[in-house]
Amino acid sequence: MKNSYPLIIGFLVLSVGFLNAHPTGNLCVFQDQAYWSYIEPVDDQEHHACIWRMDSTGKKSLFRQSKYAASDFMLQNADTALYILERRYLSSQDIFELRLFKYEGQGPAQLIWDWFRDPLRVGEAGFKMLSDQELLFVRYPSLFRLKKQGEPQLDPSISDTLHKMRAVGPNQILFGGDFYAWLRSDEGQLLQDWPIIGDPNADATKAPMGRNSIFGMDYHKGHLLIAYWGKRQFLIYDPKGKSRILLQHKDPYTPHWVCFWDKKALLFASALYWDGRTPEPRLVVSGW
């Protein structure tokens, strides 16, 4: 894998390899290291998922590799642990299965939930561990709870249409709808909201794949960071709701994941081609 670290107009641009397919996954920071998921090897036609990590100097290493084809990793960082959902597709049975690991920063990640059937594709739109025995997740358009060895149960505490969620603190969850977002406590108290994010009236025919939508989101000290797929932008909103563009991509790059890292913002995009070439991911480290 080629690595390059040129400093360009205030941005650190990291070439992170090449993907055959746009993987399910996300980007987060745990114990001052960034973690993200995609596939490995980079030309793998069977889509074996992996997790890479990067320290504050930009040094990258392979953290975890799935043994299973058609697999994905989804991540959630907590104060004392990184939770890792591993999903695999069993083509012979046409089902998805899921298992859960807990990594506490030393030694190998520990398996805490063994394989179980996953008809709702838990974690794909975000999840939060409420304890090692229960998690909260979004499956469009609703919020669900899942206990270990149990079945998903609808959580009626939110009636709004949900597209995504992200755990952003020990007692905070960021939720996203079509073009709005809000922050609430685990107990349901509204802490902050953004009635309009992105541009709901943008021309979808000019958006990648005709999708005028918001992908990744993150929150830090009153600020909201979003990956706006529809206009190929990374936007940040201040505590008063005023937005500015951190990075404007051009075709073929399309934003999808974001993460705050202290005074830095991690901005992850992929170049999407339609001529047989594989997508080309790019991670940009920006001040904010």
Q: How far apart are CA 139 and CA 181, in angstroms?
A: 16
State mean pLDDT over 109-135.
98
* Closest CA relative to residue 24, chosen from 82, 89, 116: 89
pLDDT value at 212 more than 90: yes
| pTM score of the predicted model | 0.92
Residue 152 CA to residue 88 CA, distance in Å, equals 18
- The residue among 88 and 4 whose pLDDT is bigger is 88
Residue 7 has pLDDT above 80, yes or no: no
The CA-based angle 72-77-80, given to 5 degrees, is 130
**Contacts (Cβ under 8 Å, ≥6 apart) of 276:** none
First vs last C-alpha separation in the chain:
29
Looking at residues 134-162, what average pLDDT do you find?
Answer: 96
Residue 78, number of CB atoms within 10 A of its CB: 16
**Average pLDDT for 75-82:** 96
Q: Which residue has the tokens 């007692």?
A: 171
pLDDT of residue 3: 35
Mean pLDDT, residues 208-220: 95
Which position has the higher pLDDT, 137 or 13? 137
